[in-house]
Structure 1
Amino acid sequence: MSGSTVRRNAQKIIDGKYSGPDPLLEEFKTMIYERLEELQLPPGKIQLSPELDPIDCTNDDFDFIEKLGEGSFGEVHKVKHIPTGNLMAIKYQTIVFDPHSDEAREYWTRQKIYDRLIREITAFRKAFVSKFTNFIPSYYGMLILEKSVAFCIEVLDLTAENLYHCHKNKKRDAIITNDNNESLHFEEKPLAIVAISILKAMLHLRNLKAMHRDIKPRNILLNFNGDVKLCDLGLVVFLEDSAAISIQSGSKLYLAPEILRGDFVTEYRVKSDVWSLGITLLEMARFRYPFNTDVLEKDLLFQIIAKPVPILNENDGYNEEMTHFINQCLIKDPKQRPHITELEMLELATKFSDINFNRNLMKDFISNNVER
């Protein structure tokens, strides 16, 4: 089907005058096959390591262990790949929608979903073949099913949000039990490891000429081996796509002030992930989101744009290296806010540059705070 035919049929769908096969879905499937061919891993194959050859795979090759989550995107399951015994996560994204749903009725809603899927596949695959998987989950491949696509990716055990809630509860219990005045904040070294691990993930994406655009505690995954990884690449944008960079994307609670203001200068936009990292770390440090959320959305966004930043200070219990790193991320003026390459030069990044040391320390920290 030609592009002009697709566009004509798409317009008929928007106008409610078309009842044939969904041209957008057909175009999406064509683009998926073309993109995966370009990325050298077609649908129906998985590759468990860059050093191994791809192998054939179907949905029947998996033993389903448990559901890990669900949302508007579909469901995520922890599975065992029966032929190899490997554990992984499968993310099912619906592509054929109930006829009565908003997605089925609204052409542009479906287009956003399909565009996001293509971006996510591209980013995961490029990170995988570039061996940038120390800080980004490994992507093994995808299947195209009758009504959904299935991403096969590395499975991890918990989010940073899960971790800080568990840690908060454990510290609170210890304070009550011991009747002491210890301040209630996230332990410093593990927080530094989260900070530097996500910075490394951002640097890897930069090497792919990409930015994440949705950094937040729920998109940071960890496992009981001490790995810390940045997940959910559905909003990743490649820097040559200036039109996509100009679109406001991501969770508003973590968006930089310049993004909320609608500043479309690309030079500033590439620093917006730094702000999101800072807000994420500040939330973890204090066990709560730093702005007042008990207000209307417009008032919350006004706080982020116009009110002083609730930065770390001497009362938060952190040393100068940690405080400086987070507060640098939270400089409101993007002209003054450091680039990720400048964050890499800060003392905290240098101090926590040993991957094995970080993994072992985080492994002990997680095992002491989270029940398996």
Structure 2
Amino acid sequence: MSGNVASGTVNLSDLEERLKKLESNFQSKKRPTNKLGLNFGAQPNHPTVPAQRPQMSLNFQSSAPASTLNSMSQQMAQPRKKQISFSIPPPEKSHESERVNQRLQEVYQQTGKLRIGGKVLQAHVHEFDNLGQIGSGTCGQVYKMRYKPISYVMAVKQMNRSGNNDEQKRILMDLDIVQKSHDCPTIVTCFGTFVTESSVWICMELMETCFEKLKKRVQGPMPEVILGKLTVAVVQALNYLKEQHNVIHRDVKPSNILVGNNGVIKLCDFGISGRLVDSQAKTRAAGCTAYMAPERISPDPNHPNYDIRADVWSLGISLVELATGRFPYSDCKTDFEMLTKILEQEPPSLPPDKGFSIHFQKFVTACCTKDYRNRPKYRELLADEFVKRFIFANVDVTKWLGQILYPPTGTTAFPIARTASGNVVKPTTTDPFAFAAEITQAQFAKHARTRSLDFKDFNRKPGTK
């Protein structure tokens, strides 16, 4: 039976020969070329090493029919798909980033000049003595420093240059506003700037303290006359930013309202101020959450942007806090709880039974209107009766400040005030609200020669004539 195969069995010799031919054809097939000329990760100037094929094992003991083996060979002959991986190039510098860097270069060219008392002085950072940290701002720390050549003491805000584009924009905004606002008496004065490879210095006039620290010092309500002068200063500063530079502050709060030892109140910290486009701001992630207006927390889908009235809300919340000695949302344990109350509860207001004038109560209520469409803008606030009264009011802020910061020994915990005859106003009650009202009355009695400061108007109860 040599060379014969029984019927129904596979001729192994023929099968082996056919498989060898298929193997030869399979090996001779070229891999598909890259017609697009793309380089998928291959190193330049290095020949591509073909991948080693797995060894094919043939089992001739199998009794599978030839058709099945042919099908298997055809599947193996199909070219395998390539794993393609694209390397993403680094993002190109945006136009905004280039503009920020260009502006920084312009500032760098103007560095090293101090304008003090009408004179321009060439200065260097090594000519300053650090007298200690006095505060911190949005993107830097504030130090009390002495310029040694003329022994001039000033406040210097130092901001690190991290290379982050958002930080760069904050620094530029702060520089921009303080440099351009030299003609506004209610914005801190800038003497000059220094730009180094690692930091930016802004040299400003030294103020005595901020109202956040004063609130902690007083530990109770502040007199209405003091808050009246604060209101005038803040509204005038905000209106100046809007009208002259088309800017919204976005971080109005007691810690950014300063007072000098001469009694002048000024606004500061413009790192997160924003440019207005068509009188509206678009950036939402800016400012302190506690003083943020409802329309910034939960914007109207039809009108997602906000305008200067967001700062009016922040002013109203600050006035409630300073007038009562307590932040209106201080009982909230989390930011989420506080934001929920801002959106869902009635807005804060001044208590009607604590001696506040009807004009002050109305002003705060208008500022804290939840619907921004019904909230007044700066022109309306400047025309408000409460603001008009204090624009020209002769309030001795300097003496009040001195009594708070440097109280005479043996005095009470309450801040003191003096009558027109110079007598000390001593508290007749342990109620801090009542004593704050006594200070207000003493201040107005001291300057009763001005008709518009008649205290009767301020002490009038709501609904009376």
TM-score (normalizing by structure 1): 0.77
Match of 1:124 among 159, 178, 184: 178
Match of 1:323 among 361, 374, 377: 361
Instruction: Choose which of 250, 258, 271 in structure 1 pairs with 2:287.
Output: 250
Does the CA contact (< 8 Å) of 1:90 and 1:152 recur in 2?
yes
What's the offset of the Cα at 1:26? 9.0
Judged with a 3 Å threshold, the aligned counterparts in structure 2 of structure 1 residues 45 and 309 are, in CA distance, closer, same or farther, namely same
Asked if the contact 2:280/2:307 (under 8 Å) is kept, the reply is no
Give the partner amino acid of 1:370. L
Q: Which of residues 392, 395, 400 is equivalent to 1:365?
A: 400
Percent identical across equivalent pairs?
Answer: 26
Residue 380 of structure 2 corresponds to which residue in structure 1? 342
8 Å contact from structure 2 (residues 138, 269) kept in 1: no
- C-alpha deviation, 1:294, in angstroms: 3.0
Q: Is the 8 A contact 2:279 2:307 kept in 1?
A: no
Provide the residue aligned with 1:142 in structure 2: 193
138, 162, 169: which one aligns with 1:115: 169
Pick aligned residue for 2:214 from 163, 169, 184: 163
In structure 2, how many angstroms separate the alpha carbons of the residues matched to 1:60 and 1:193? 39
Deviation at 1:66?
2.1
Alignment RMSD: 2.8
Q: Name the counterpart of 1:68.
A: 134
Q: Measure, in 2, the Cα distance between the counterparts of 1:231 and 1:75.
A: 13
8 A Cα contact 2:139 2:271, kept in partner? no
Is 1:191 aligned to residue 227 of structure 2? yes
Quote the Cα distance in structure 2 between the aligned partners of 1:77 and 1:88.
Answer: 8
1:350 partner letter: K
What does the per-residue CA deviation read over 1:188-240, in whole Å, with 9 as the maximum and x for residues that have no partner? 11111111111111122122221111000111111221111111011122223
Residue 245 of structure 1 aligns to a residue whose secondary structure is coil
Is 243-252 or 332-341 further displaced after alignment?
243-252
Structure 2 contact 139–170 (Cα < 8 Å) conserved: no
Deviation at 1:275, TM superposition (A): 0.2
Cα deviations by residue, 1:66-110 (Å, 9 ceiling, x for unpaired): 2213477343211122233322111111114xxxxxxx7xxxxx2
Report the residue type matching 1:363 in the other structure: T
Q: How does 1:221-370 map to 2 (within 5 A)?
A: 221-240=258-277, 245-263=282-300, 265=303, 268-354=306-392, 357-358=394-395, 361-370=396-405
Instruction: Kindly state the Cα deviation for residue 9 of structure 1 after the two structures are TM-superposed.
Output: 8.8
Q: Secondary structure at the match of 1:69?
A: strand
Partners of 1:190 and 1:72 in 2: CA distance: 26
Tell which structure's C-alpha radius of gyration is larger. 2
Q: In the TM superposition, what whole-angstrom CA distance separates every residue of 1:6-63 from its partner, at most 9, and x where no partner exists?
A: xx996399xxxxxxxxxx99975542132576xxxx11212225xx353211102212
Q: How many residues align?
A: 317
Q: For the residues of structure 2 that align with 1:260 and 1:329, how far apart are their CA atoms?
A: 17
Tell me the residue number matched to 1:202: 238
Unaligned regions of 5+ residues in structure 1, if any? Answer: 1-7, 14-23, 97-103, 105-109, 169-183
Residue number among 116, 120, 127 corresponding to 1:48 in the alignment: 116
Q: Partner residue of 2:66?
A: none
